[in-house]
Structure 1
Amino acid sequence: MNPERWLREPVRDDVVDLWPLHEVVHEERTPFQDVLVARTPLGTTLFCDQNPQSAELGQLAFHEAELVPALALAGERRRVLVIGCSEGVVPQIAARAGVEVVDHVDIDPDCVRICAEHLPYGFDADEVRRAEAGDGPIRLHYDDGARFVRDSAGTDRRYDVIVLDLPEEDEDSPHSALYQREFLTRCRDLLAPGGVVSTHVSRPHLSLPAADSVASFRRPWQAFGEVFATRAYFRSDEQPWAAIMLGRADAVADPVELMTEQLDALAYRPRTIDARTLRRAAGLPRALREPVPTA
């Protein structure tokens, strides 16, 4: 099947990915980004600023990886904060897991609307309207994630899980600050006792070898070690984008064992993660087990 056009996704200065777009479903410039929904070999796919955010085939594995290990590591599962995830899948999973309050923060209401209208997964238009009205466990806030976290510091908001579903780290973009120690510390301070922060790390640095690949992987792991007493790792074997780092403020002797024990007690039954998957996917790669070399 010949593509209607090709999308060029910059990965590094010397590498691009070419995505065949068999059909462009919707294309729009919002006040925040270029949003494109198209049919690709991975099904209906969402691109923001030429960067793939999720695809029909594989999106569930990615979104479960962002949330399920964090729910299994957390002490409680009453309140969850999701920053990003315009598609709405992570808030939906949290609600199905019995979470009482899901605060969903996304900066771009137009992108949320486009996803609800055109993606065959995540929110539909009626779910968006209910979440905007706070009718049900999901409460949708259109705000900058960093500002929402900062403004929450002086309130009684505390979360058992915070999921950061962010665009890929980019030194030239303002959202790169959301990968740094200062923001992670602000998130940690919003956690209830036993609470967990979960974020995914940049896909290109993991899938393509480069001189700085190991360093770019170690950098967020080191930041988590500086901010959290407990850190854990999960890398899906079904979804190459799903490399997740987790932090818990208090010390847990064996976080993998705790996640494995609590997984079966979750009200939500994940389709892509079971106990064997979790144990295997939580094993640290050698680059994270070795001491960071000093200059």
Structure 2
Amino acid sequence: MIEECSGYYWFRELSSGGVDLAHLCRSILFSGRTQYQRVDIVDSPLHGKVLFLDKVLQSAEKDEFIYHEVLVHPALFSAAKPRSVLIIGGGEGATLREVLRHPGVERVVMVEIDGQLIHIAQQFLPEWHQGAFEDPRLELVFADGRRYLETTDQRFDVIILDLSDPFQDSPAALLYTTEFYEIVRSRLRPGGACAVQAESISPQQCAVHARIYNTLAASFPVVKTCPYMLHSFHRPDAHLLASLDAGWSAERIARRAEASSLPLRYLSPAVMRRLFAVPPYLEEAYALHRRPLTDADHHIAIDEIL
């Protein structure tokens, strides 16, 4: 719902988790539907440009760099020499932007089911992709991410899953299951790493995250939580990092970050060293919500969302 107020607009986000949110905006830059979802882009005095998919905030100009740095760089620094990277999702292009900042990356395959979303982002969200779609290292594939992995015989050093929420009727629901993570593992080279967008870690809403953690842990020897906080998300969230390297360590990837001299705005080497610490309540959630998501049982109950 969009409500006008003294020349400004209140863009009302789809209510979830017992919270009703409205975002003040100066103008609506784009509003329409693709084959898969509704897309709204607004200009907000607080957050800058903001992208909503199906009326749920996905990314905001002022703090998207935190989300994307935490998703991409721990995984890239976990692989010894990441040359080949697969991205599934990430239609606004910022995940691609961060991957391409690594000079050793020679090839990036980006698989996005919603080609219309990419065309919208190219026009309206240049602050996110910063021309990354024009990079010659990119191979852009418009397809279902799971179908792509099931049919390709290629292997990658890093796979990044920048997906929408795994809730009912979501096209991404089957990209969070044990069966899917086994496919992901089989498409990684030895020592490879995978990064997954993994939902809220607030005490009120961490059950879904904990189930994703345990689902991923069933397929990978090392799974690490990467907490972060965005003003635009109004809650603490986390990505998950999974590695095939049984000797993985935070200190080693921090040293690689130092050696790279990448000018990151959030993930300094000092922040990287502390990134993977989690509070006791989250460890308790991992022990409590152990049931993995599977193809046959991937539906998220409403009490897990709340």
TM-score bucket (shorter structure): 0.7 to 0.9
Q: Distance in 1 between matches of 2:243 and 2:59?
A: 27
Q: Distance in 2 between matches of 1:263 and 1:123?
A: 22
Comparing 282-291 with 61-70, which one deviates more in the overlay?
282-291
Paired letter, 1:20: L
| 1:191–1:120 Cα change, 3 Å | same
Deviation, 1:197, is: 0.6
Paired letter, 1:144: D
Report the 3-state secondary structure (helix = DSSP H, G, I; strand = E; otherwise coil) of the residue aligned with 2:141.
Answer: strand
- Specify the alignment match of 2:295 in structure 1: none
Deviation, 1:25, is: 0.3
Report the 3-state secondary structure (helix = DSSP H, G, I; strand = E; otherwise coil) of the residue aligned with 1:117.
Answer: helix
RMSD (Å), alpha carbons = 2.3
- Specify the alignment match of 1:273 in structure 2: 267
Map 1:85-234 onto structure 2 (within 5 A). Answer: 85-98=90-103, 99-123=105-129, 128=133, 130=134, 136-152=136-152, 155=153, 157-203=154-200, 206-207=201-202, 209-210=203-204, 213-234=205-226
Q: Residues 264-287 of structure 1, C-alpha deviation per residue, up to 9 Å, x if partnerless?
A: 233633221112211222112223
Q: Distance in 1 between matches of 2:31 and 2:11?
A: 14
Q: Distance in 2 between matches of 1:241 and 1:22?
A: 27
Q: Distance in 2 between matches of 1:93 and 1:8?
A: 28
* Moved >4 Å (runs of 4+): 237-242
Q: Residues 45-66 of structure 1, C-alpha deviation per residue, up to 9 Å, x if partnerless?
A: 1111111111100011111111
Paired letter, 2:8: P
Structure 2: runs of 5+ lacking an equivalent: 1-5, 292-306
Report the 3-state secondary structure (helix = DSSP H, G, I; strand = E; otherwise coil) of the residue aligned with 1:104.
Answer: strand
Deviation, 1:15, is: 2.6
| 1:225–1:235 Cα change, 3 Å | same
Deviation, 1:242, is: 5.0
| 1:276–1:237 Cα change, 3 Å | farther
Q: Residues 28-85 of structure 1, C-alpha deviation per residue, up to 9 Å, x if partnerless?
A: 1111111111112211011111111111000111111110111111122101111111
Aligned counterpart for 1:54 among listed residues 38, 56, 59? 59
Sequence identity of aligned pairs in percent?
27
**Across the two proteins, how many residue pairs are aligned to each other?**
279
Report the 3-state secondary structure (helix = DSSP H, G, I; strand = E; otherwise coil) of the residue aligned with 1:170.
Answer: coil
1:263 aligns with 2:257: yes
